[in-house]
Amino acid sequence: MARTTVVKIGGSTLGSEDTTLQDVVAMHRAGDRPVVVHGGGAMITDWLKRLDIPSQFVDGLRSTNAEAIDVVVGVLRGVVNTQLVGQIVALGGRAVGLCGVDGGLVTAERYDDRLGFVGRVTGVNAEVLRGLLDSGAIPVIAPIGLEPPSQPLNINADTVAGEVARALRADSLVFLTDVEGLLDGQGALVPELDQALAKALREAGVLAGGMIPKVDACFRAAEAGVAASMADGTVPGMLRRVAFGERVGTRIVA
Ligand SMILES: Nc1ncnc2c1ncn2[C@@H]1O[C@H](COP(=O)(O)OP(=O)(O)OP(=O)(O)O)[C@@H](O)[C@H]1O
Ligand SMILES: [Mg+2]
């Protein structure tokens, strides 16, 4: 049975000397069904600066106004997605780029006036992806959702990856980032994370920043029976090692 693996590539690992895209193509050749979700926050910041559009942060989250959402869509769906698709095609994989707006894949809604065009996921239409996967394509998803009838919203890429894995009932969800996995208060790797430990680390302020949406997404996916984990995407071969069940990074135990 072909295994469906949702891989979230962190903006933090994009452009490093990793082998993630080679691993994705190799897994696809071996008969698996990989789905890629990517971030790109750093490049958005860079383009907003170049275009002289000020960034405002509310509780650590970027507020996205009408001007900024055009830049977010342009950079994520235009620049970052097209780059990744081109690189996978160059490696011999039939990557197809899309965002949550395409085919109504990810529906979303605004949830905080102060954040503007930032969305939370209200639904995922997994059929859009199944069609692509059945045809032998490797879907590469930019984290933009559709607020009906036609408004694009900026969504956290980790959240999109978790909801997509859940809706697809994927076999696994792998977050590739720039750290070994979740680290505890002493900086040591947490190999297995359950809800109780996550709660304690969060309350202690150890589980913070970019790890919060990842851990939340892992538990959301794990609830649907998806094997969820986080690992260092800058290490060559990491994705395949995780996919083969090697004990690396942080694994979620539901
Ligand atoms: N307890 C923790 N263990 C490990 N990393 C942590 C922890 N708490 C916070 N972090 C931070 O989370 C970062 C990873 O999340 P981050 O959002 O920066 O990367 P990403 O999601 O891979 O990339 P992007 O957001 O660009 O898609 C780490 O580099 C680290 O600085
Ligand atoms: Mg992040």
Listed residue (98, 85, 86, 95) closest to 124, CA to CA: 98
Q: Give the pLDDT score at 16.
A: 66
CB 3 within 8 A of CB 33: yes
pLDDT exceeds 90 at position 230 = yes
For residues 27 and 203, give the distance between their C-alpha atoms in angstroms, rounded to a whole number: 38
Distance (Å) from CA 38 to ligand 2 centroid: 10
Listed residue (196, 199, 115, 124) closest to 159, CA to CA: 124
Average pLDDT, the chain: 94
For residues 190 and 122, give the distance between their C-alpha atoms in angstroms, rounded to a whole number: 31
For residues 249 and 242, give the distance between their C-alpha atoms in angstroms, rounded to a whole number: 8
Mean pLDDT of 48-64: 87
DSSP H or E run through 6: strand 4-9
Residue 139: band (very low, low, confident or very high) from pLDDT cuts 50, 70, 90: very high
pLDDT exceeds 80 at position 220 = yes
Residue 211 β-bridge partners: none
pLDDT exceeds 90 at position 213 = yes
DSSP state string for 164-193? HHHHHT-SEEEEEESSSS-B-TTS-B-SEE
pLDDT exceeds 70 at position 217 = yes
Specify the 3-state DSSP secondary structure of 203: helix
Task: Report the predicted TM-score, pTM, of the whole model to 2 decimal places.
Answer: 0.96
Least confident of 63-67, 125-129, 145-149: 63-67
The first and second tokens of residue 33, run together, are 């069904």
Q: Give the pLDDT score at 18.
A: 82
Distance (Å) from CA 210 to ligand 2 centroid: 4
Q: Which atom of ligand 1 is nearest to the CA of 211?
A: 12
Q: In degrees rounded to 5, what are phi and psi of residue 247?
A: -85, 80
% of the chain exceeding 90 in pLDDT: 88
For residues 92 and 138, give the distance between their C-alpha atoms in angstroms, rounded to a whole number: 11
> How confident is the model over 91-109, as pLDDT tens digits?
999 999 999 999 999 999 9
Q: Which atom of ligand 1 is nearest to the CA of 181?
A: 4
Strands 119-124 and 138-142: unpaired
- Domain annotation for the chain: domains and CATH numbers: 4-252 (3.40.1160.10)
Q: Which ligand is nearest to the CA of 188?
A: 1
pLDDT exceeds 90 at position 254 = no
Strands 151-154 and 144-147: antiparallel
By most ligand atoms within 8 Å of CB, the mutation choice from 173, 179, 203, 235 for ligand 1 is 179
Number of residues that make up the chain: 254
CB 161 within 8 A of CB 6: yes
The binding-site residues of ligand 1, defined as CB within 6 angstroms of any ligand atom, are: 10-12, 39, 41-42, 157-158, 177-179, 182-183, 206-211
Listed residue (217, 93, 228) closest to 155, CA to CA: 217
Residue ranges near ligand 2 (ion) with Cβ within 5 Å: 210
> How confident is the model over 140-169, as pLDDT tens digits?
999 999 999 999 999 999 999 999 999 999
Residue 84: band (very low, low, confident or very high) from pLDDT cuts 50, 70, 90: very high
Active site residues: 8, 11, 41, 158, 214
The residue whose C-alpha atom lies closest to atom 21 belonging to ligand 1 is 10
CB 44 within 8 A of CB 75: yes
Q: Give the pLDDT score at 15.
A: 65
Q: In degrees rounded to 5, what are phi and psi of residue 110?
A: -70, 145
The residue whose C-alpha atom lies closest to atom 20 belonging to ligand 1 is 10
